[in-house]
Amino acid sequence: MAEIQLRNINKRWGSFVGVDNFDLTIADQEFLVLLGPSGCGKTTTMRMIAGLEDATDGDIIIDGKRVNDLDPKDRDVAMVFQSYGLYPHLDVYENIRFPLKVRKADPSTHDERVRRASAMVELDEFLHRKPAELSGGQRQRVALARAIVREPNVFLMDEPLSNLDAKLRVSTRAQIKNLSHELKVTTVYVTHDQIEAMTLADRVVVMKQGKVQQVGTPTEIYDNPANTFVASFIGSPAMNLMDGAMSGGTFTGDKVKISGINAPDGPVTMGFRAEDAALAEADGQITAPIYTIELLGDATMLTVRAGGQLVSVKAHKEFRAEIGDTVSFSIPAEICHAFDSTSGERLG
């Protein structure tokens, strides 16, 4: 069992607040992803769980025990960093074995444990190579094996894929997801990449400037973003957001009118996702010239210039047009998300 409770955790340096009142229970065996832009406090939150950073206040409870005053080595957590942290003079076998020696694990178990961990990340053939003789992806797998070999209760991973190329990132991502499932380890994973977050997480915590913006499953966060920050951070392309005003159930923005919206009269920010709008023959809510066309393979992404604003719409993969051609598309009221135009908070 490794439930992690973070009770009103704060991290301040002088008057600067790095993490502001983080309060969450991470379930045993959950895969939790901390997601947000650079500087939002994700790494600091994870380092406080690891014990590499003291919380200014709040309680960190792992497996029912308050660990604030425990050294990192006594917390039963294993960390994997983007920089791998391998010892260059040791070969792969000895790198993976290292935590067992430090922890004085029974030497008669070392060989079996190292071989089991290395097999899990498919490194069996490379056990006698030095880190310098490995590719970036192989080095990252050594770092993973070194975390696995300890059989910890908690994995903490800080952007472990960011040094890998796009293809390797996808395959290593799948491997991490599978390992965490197989090993039944509670995992806290830090990234600024929303696709990584969406594909790996049981739940995602979206952070901004030290504050939690929303906690939810990837689907909840995608379908019901709590505010315009989350709406524009999750999804590729980001949700279209248009400023305008509500009056009697009708939204009026620059070059757009949508009826049947359930939001109070007054200024509002209206959002919709590119894939929810539908190209129409004519007379859609937006009729505008194409600004750019991107062929994605399984679809065609159009960006149109609607008044002063660029809006994304997903079209069928066989859709063909030229930049400058005019298209029309419909935005049904039921696919719209209304946000308070001042606070950015979701309405209704």
Residues near ligand ATP (CB under 6 A) are 13, 16, 18, 36, 38-44, 192
Residue 195 or 321: the one with the smaller Cβ distance to ligand ATP is 195
Helix 136-148 / helix 107-120 crossing angle, nearest 10 deg: 140
CA–CA separation, 61 vs 57, rounded Å?
13
Q: Give the Cβ contact number of residue 1 at 10 Å.
A: 10
Residue 100 or 164: the one with the smaller Cβ distance to ligand ATP is 164
Phi, psi of 40 (to 5 degrees): -85, -10
- Measured CA to CA in angstroms, residue 99 lies from 74, 77, 82, 103 at distances of 13, 12, 18, 6
Q: Which two tokens stand for residue 81?
A: 């960093």
Q: What is the smallest separation between the CB atom of 19 and ligand ATP, expressed in angstroms?
A: 7
Give the SS3 label for residue 20. strand
Task: Calculate Rg over the CA atoms of the chain.
Answer: 24
Give the SS3 label for residue 115. helix
Q: What is the smallest separation between the CB atom of 132 and ligand ATP, expressed in angstroms?
A: 26
Q: What is the smallest separation between the CB atom of 329 and ligand ATP, expressed in angstroms?
A: 36
C-beta nearest to ligand ATP: residue: 43
Q: What is the smallest separation between the CB atom of 283 and ligand ATP, expressed in angstroms?
A: 45
Residue 53 or 94: the one with the smaller Cβ distance to ligand ATP is 53
Q: What is the smallest separation between the CB atom of 192 and ligand ATP, expressed in angstroms?
A: 5
Torsion sign, CA atoms 63, 69, 73, 77: positive
Residue 39 or 249: the one with the smaller Cβ distance to ligand ATP is 39
Residue 114 or 221: the one with the smaller Cβ distance to ligand ATP is 221
Residue 79 or 331: the one with the smaller Cβ distance to ligand ATP is 79
Determine the distance from the C-alpha atom of residue 179 to the mean position of all C-alpha atoms in its chain, rounded to a whole number.
18
Contact 254, 288 (CB under 8 A): no
Phi, psi of 181 (to 5 degrees): -70, -45
Q: What is the smallest separation between the CB atom of 189 and ligand ATP, expressed in angstroms?
A: 12
